[in-house]
Structure 1
Amino acid sequence: MDQHIGNDRLGVVTAPRTLRLERLLPGPVERVWAYLTESDKRAKWLASGPMADFVGGPVKLTFQHSHLSDEKTPAEFQKYEGSGFESKVLRYEPPHLLVITWPDGGQDSEVTFELSASGSDTLLKLTHTRLASTDSMVSVASGWHAHLGVLIDHLEGKAPAGFWSNYQRVRDEYSQVIKD
């Protein structure tokens, strides 16, 4: 796999309240698309739940972080275990573009997943816009970073590395680079 993307590179702020992460994922676009849209595959790296395959349709995400790696969920995050939310599909263009709403601070932010072929692999560009605050940006950046790490491990056929230790490591890094 071409490593020019840097699969542990921090996301970047591309505009006010906007974060982008890029990852080179092993396998074809259609395989990665399935990990975004199919509940059983998405549950392995992010959250389970049904997702409509049409614009305006519902998305329900239920998070079980304790299932993402062998690490125990830290006490400060245990209250979120089994929690979730409902959102909706804003764009659905299989297998290259998915945009969904994401609740954040009493408003809807938006998450865009763009997939393109890069040889036999897939370039993922994840952009999260309309984030409510700097604190939210740090939390969201850390979460996406750790979740994408788990996705990469699954796609590579490896046992996922520690979700929470990765989250906490990058949260400290993001808090240093994301400022008001």
Structure 2
Amino acid sequence: MNRPPTGELFRTGTGSDLVLTRTFRAPIEDVWASVTEPDRTARWYGPWEGDAAPGRTIKVQLAFEDQTPWVDMHIDACDPPQRLALSATDEFGAWRIELLLSHADGVTRLRFVHHLENEEQLGEIGPGWEYYLDMLVAARDGSPKPDFDTYYPAMKPYFLALTTRT
């Protein structure tokens, strides 16, 4: 395994929030560019196309998934360089995610939040987001890309255990 799992689960009034955090010794604007510019998102998640603005829908290619599908993602909110909120619906359900950035003392903190309607797929979702965020780290620092097989199913028990905590 590349790293131990970092995800935390917080119960909310409408479901649960899966929260993962990464830190970067970089200006907030540079990290923001890594999560919003299509040529940079292509390095760790996939490229996107369209007219990006709050209330609009863009097409995002899931470049590291089987068959590299394109999905529609709605931009729910965009407050550069601190907050990006996206949502999508596919055969697995609704996806609502937020990327929250903050900066202090030369370090930018990325707090990734997946708002879950239920926790049924957490054993699959958690390792997937750990993988993608580590792909982001590798894309930024030039380290080797992680191997998904070291995340799933190895991290699944950790994330399933989160569902039993109160």
Using structure 2 for the length normalisation, give the TM-score: 0.83
Structure-1 residue corresponding to 2:25: 26
- Structure number with higher helix proportion: 1
Per the alignment, in what secondary structure is the counterpart of residue 146 of structure 1?
A: helix
Q: Output aligned runs, 1:1-180, within 5 Å.
A: 8-15=4-11, 16-50=15-49, 52-65=51-64, 80-103=66-89, 107-129=93-115, 131-179=116-164
Moved over 6 A (4+): none
Tell me the amino acid that sits aligned with residue 156 of structure 2. Answer: R
Closer, same or farther: CA 169–12 of 1 in aligned 2, 3 Å:
same
Q: Give the Cα–Cα distance (whole angstroms) in 2 for the partners of residues 143 and 118 of structure 1.
A: 28
Q: Is the 8 A contact 1:23 1:123 kept in 2?
A: yes
1:166 Cα deviation (Å)? 2.4
1:26 Cα deviation (Å)? 3.2
Tell me the amino acid that sits aligned with residue 27 of structure 2. Answer: P
Per the alignment, in what secondary structure is the counterpart of residue 116 of structure 1?
A: strand
Q: Mean alpha-carbon deviation: is it higher for 40-49 or for 166-175?
A: 166-175
1:81 Cα deviation (Å)? 2.4
1:39 Cα deviation (Å)? 1.4
Tell me the amino acid that sits aligned with residue 72 of structure 2. Answer: E
Per the alignment, in what secondary structure is the counterpart of residue 100 of structure 1?
A: strand
Per the alignment, in what secondary structure is the counterpart of residue 154 of structure 2?
A: helix
1:127 Cα deviation (Å)? 0.9
Q: Is the 8 A contact 1:99 1:112 kept in 2?
A: yes
1:14 Cα deviation (Å)? 0.9
Tell me the amino acid that sits aligned with residue 43 of structure 1. Answer: A
**Percent identical:** 21
Q: Give the Cα–Cα distance (whole angstroms) in 1 for the partners of residues 50 and 155 of structure 2.
A: 29
Per the alignment, in what secondary structure is the counterpart of residue 47 of structure 1?
A: coil
Q: Give the Cα–Cα distance (whole angstroms) in 2 for the partners of residues 104 and 176 of structure 1.
A: 26
Q: Give the Cα–Cα distance (whole angstroms) in 2 for the partners of residues 42 and 32 of structure 1.
A: 11
Cα displacement string for residues 70-115 of structure 1 (whole angstroms, at most 9, x for unaligned residues)? xxxxxxxxxx321131021011111111001032556533111110
User: 5+ residue gaps in structure 1?
Assistant: 1-6, 67-79
Q: Mean alpha-carbon deviation: is it higher for 18-27 or for 169-178?
A: 169-178
- Structure number with higher strand proportion: 2
Q: Report how many aligned residue pairs link the two structures.
A: 160
1:148 Cα deviation (Å)? 0.5
